[in-house]
Structure 1
């Protein structure tokens, strides 16, 4: 009995995020919109650092509702469906990210992100305010696979597979 309780506790402590992968079709093919994390930790990182706009969901909030809310908070853009489920990936930190895609368009220059506080330098006791996302950009699928976090490449692959099937 103790074993099953322990397993339940572990499962419920898994950090979960939900996010949206906006895509558009251009004459050169499909492009996806990715976000670059803000703050000093990510400032000099480029390839392998970008992400889908995403964030935590807890309690009664449905993952897709959290994904839409986080997309708006991190970009200032409103996501409109229909939404296509892409599945989930597990990041190196253990965080599980569930993603959806939707067709849309935006001007990355108009991105406005919410902010958060971060202790910087680490263990200094000093707090700084940073944007959750410092910029966004459109990427063709091959470039997106280079720039997005390695663990999230599967979300780009899932979108491409669905588009090839004519979703």
Structure 2
């Protein structure tokens, strides 16, 4: 059975245009990489969670801010590695301050086999992208 995770496509309206919030993963593997790296905030669904609860939880963990609103189920997509992501959308406050974002952290041994454990943010950047920009080389998921 494929691994399932849940994510939240956060959008805002600016005049007649829509922008979506995408996040860039933190850590040494993703440092300096933009192509196909950006995505919606998402994570594994915990056994006691429903999909929407998981999407909202992970968004709060990755961004450090709560996103309130009415969520709409968009559907699911399969990532190249086989993981299935159930995606929801929610309209955000147009002035959601990206400078206020404070991601949770994870720890790994870095450099590998060094014996040193370092902390890195789950998300090191977030940005608002037009729908056309979101289809560019940032992420394969929306093409």
TM-score under structure 2 normalisation?
0.90
2:10 paired residue number: 22
Unaligned 5+ segments in structure 2 are none
The 3-state SS of whatever aligns with 1:137 is strand
What whole-Å deviation, never above 9, does each CA across 1:113-160 have from its counterpart, x for those lacking one?
00011232334443211000011110000111115420x206xxxxxx
Over 6 Å off, 4+ runs? none
Question: CA 1:36/1:87 → structure 2, altered by over 3 Å: closer, same or farther?
Answer: same
Maintained 8 Å contact 1:117/1:129: yes
The count of residues paired between Structure 1 and Structure 2 equals: 141
Deviation at 1:29, TM superposition (A): 1.0
The 3-state SS of whatever aligns with 1:122 is coil
| Partner of residue 116 from structure 1, selected from 81, 93, 106 | 106
1:76 paired residue number: 64
Unaligned 5+ segments in structure 1 are 1-10, 155-167
Residue pairs, 1:1-167, within 5 angstroms: 11=1, 14-27=2-15, 29-105=17-93, 106-150=96-140, 152-153=141-142
Maintained 8 Å contact 1:34/1:148: no
Structure with bigger helix share is 1
TM-score under structure 1 normalisation?
0.78
Structural RMSD (CA): 1.6
Structure showing greater relative contact order (alpha-carbon pairs closer than 8 Å, 6 or more residues apart): 2
Maintained 8 Å contact 1:75/1:111: yes
1:159 paired residue number: none
Q: Equivalents in 2 of 1:98, 1:148: separation in Å? A: 20
Deviation at 1:63, TM superposition (A): 0.9
